Structure 1
């Protein structure tokens, strides 16, 4: 299984923020250069991250972004859910009435288990595991 580009870039960008020398903010230009992606694409990702309360922006000279909460409090599942279009959950009434296929039940169960797994991994866990990653 492989994540699409949007959540992968979001996780990478969040790791850059977590590894940044605090309390400074990191610019999208720095992240874009490091991850070799466009600033406009990062702006879309960060709009979603900001909307979900994962990052905060600072305007003006020395501005940029920083984590809205401690890296120990942000899970990988939260990051993915913030930027990836999540498929709708199955309707419990449809499940009770057996109007949902077995394949839909399988994928719904798989998605729930994967989310539970990723919800146990924090941004701090990743930065401890890969502290040598390039930083902004």
Structure 2
């Protein structure tokens, strides 16, 4: 599975939202400007995230988006599955009856890769990514170039 721009941009925007929200709604325009992303595209992405229960929206003058839960509770797997669908290293053809060789390879290789990747994605949260992002930003701010 290759992660599309929808998954990549959505994850970037959620990390930015996590890093800059401070419990307040963040306008989508701020996220698009900070991350140099298309506002129209990100609106579509955030609609999907809202339907998946990852973000909530607040309308009005002080409106914007908030995480629906604590960032420690939202995993990268949950975000990517909301935007991309269930992860699998291969396309599965359920219309065909699998033979013994196909089943053996799927169980011993493809399914094991899927499990390991899903375990890894489940172990990463928005809180961890936002913390790492903030550390990188702080390091960049401390750099002095001549």
Fold match by TM threshold 0.5: yes
**Partner of residue 120, structure 1:** 123
Q: Tell me the residue number matched to 1:34.
A: 34
Q: Which residue of 2 aligns with 1:98?
A: 100
Structure 1 unaligned runs (5+)? none
Match of 2:45 in 1: 45
Tell me the TM-score normalised to structure 1 length: 0.80
Map of 2:67 onto structure 1:
67
Q: What is the alpha-carbon distance in structure 1 between the residues aligned to residue 110 and residue 121 of structure 2? A: 16
SS of structure 1 residue aligned to 2:40: helix
**Distance of 1:12 and 1:111 partners within structure 2:** 23
Q: Is the partner of 2:134 in helix, strand or coil? A: coil
Structure 2 spans left out of the alignment, 5+ residues:
138-146
- TM-score, length basis structure 2: 0.75
**Displacement, 1:54?**
0.6
Match of 2:123, SS? coil
Partner in structure 1 of residue 140 of structure 2: none
Distance in structure 2 (CA, Å) of the matches to 1:34 and 1:103: 45
Number of residue pairs aligned between Structure 1 and Structure 2: 131
RMSD: 2.7
Provide the rounded CA distance (Å) in 2 between the counterparts of 1:44 and 1:85: 16
The higher relative CO (CA closer than 8 Å, separation ≥ 6) is in: 1
Change in Cα spacing, 1:133 to 1:32, as seen in structure 2 (3 Å) is farther
Distance, in Å, in 1 between the alignment partners of 2:41 and 2:104 is 37
